[in-house]
Amino acid sequence: MSNAQPNGQWYPPEWPDRIRALAAGELTPVSPRRAATVLLLRDGAAGPDVHMLRRRASMAFAGGAYAYPGGGVDPRDEQPVRWAGPSLAEWAGRLGLDDPAQAQAVVCAAVRETFEEAGVLLAGETADTVVGDTTGEDWERDREALVTRELHFADFLDRRGLVLRSDLLGGWARWITPEFEQRRFDTWFFVAALPAGQRTRDVSGEADRTVWIRPAEAAAGYDRGELTMMPPTISTLRALEPYGTAAEALEAAGEQDLTPVLAQARLEGDELVLSWPGHEEFTKIIPAGGAR
C-alpha cells in the first residue's frame, strides 16, 4: 500500500496498471458486494466525536487505513427481524433500492457490524428503548458467534426479545469502489449516536487501534499525511464538521445525498486522470510512468 503525499489519501500502487488494463479492455470489473458502515458519534466538549478503527496493515483491502465499523451484507441479513422506525419501504426509497428485503439487509448489516466490531447494539426491548451495558460474558459469547456466523442476527435479536431500532440510524452517503479495484463494495454510510449506558470496545479482529476523535482533528491528521483514509472516509468526516452535537448530525441525515459516488478514470494524452465526481479534492494525475 502507498499513501499519497502530502495528504493521507489511500492509493494502492497497482491502480495505474489496473486502470490502463481496464481502459484497454483487458480487465473485467468484478461486481461490487453490498456493505454498510456506521459513523458512531458521541458528544464531547468541543462537539461530537466519531469512533474510528485503524485497519490492520496485513488486511488485503485498505490495510493501515482508518475507517468506521462496518462490513459486507450477509444474505442472512434479509431474514425478518422485529423492526422499529421507518418502514422497509421507506428505507428502500432512502437507500435507492427497489426491494424492501434488500433495504432491510443493508440496515441489519449496519447494526450487526457495529455490534460485531465495536460492541455497540442499536436495539431495545421495545420500539422506544435501547439496551444498556452490552459488555457481559453472555453478550460477548453472542457477539463472537455472530462474527463466526454460527449465530444469525435475526435469531440473536429474537432470542433476546429485542427490536432493531432503525430509527437510530440516518443514511449519510453511498460510495462504490472503483471498477479497477480487485475488491469492490457498494457501501452505504450511516450515522448513529452512541446509546446511553453503552460503550465501544476494541473487539474488531480487523483493527489494531480504535479511537474516539473529533472529525476536524481526524481530517487535519489526514491533511498532514499522518492518517491514511480512503476517499469516502475523509469525505464523510468533513461532512460532519459543521454539526455541534450528535443529535444535530442525525437530524441532518435526511438531507444528505445518497447518490452513489463512483470513481472515474480517463486518458488525457499520456496521462491518466482519476477523479471522484463531486469530490475534486481526490483527483489524481497519473503520468505515463507511474503515479503522482
Distance in angstroms (rounded) separating the CA atoms of residues 111 and 165: 9
The string of pLDDT tens digits covering residues 118-162 is 999 999 999 999 999 898 899 999 999 999 999 999 999 999 999
Q: In the chain, which ranges are continuous DSSP H helix?
A: 15-23, 88-95, 100-118, 137-147, 153-160, 215-223, 231-240, 246-252
- Looking up residue 186, the CATH number of its domain turns out to be 3.90.79.10
Q: Which domain holds residue 103?
A: 30-257
Is 234 domain-assigned?
Answer: yes
Q: State mean pLDDT over 66-72.
A: 93
Q: Given the C-alpha cell 464531547, which residue does it identify?
A: 44
User: What element of type H or E holds 43?
Assistant: strand 33-44
Is 51 domain-assigned?
Answer: yes
* 219 pLDDT above the threshold of 60: yes
Q: Is 266 exposed, middle or buried (0-12, 13-18, 19+ CB in 10 A)?
A: exposed
Number of folded domains that form the chain? 1
This model's pTM is above 0.85: yes
Is 22 domain-assigned?
Answer: no
* Cell triple for 281: 479534492
Residue percentage of the chain with pLDDT more than 90: 67
Distance in angstroms (rounded) separating the CA atoms of residues 54 and 76: 27
Q: For residue 60, which phi and psi values (nearest 5 degrees)?
A: -65, -30
With cut-offs at 50, 70 and 90, classify the pLDDT of residue 19. Answer: confident
Residue 51 one-letter amino acid: H
Is 8 domain-assigned?
Answer: no
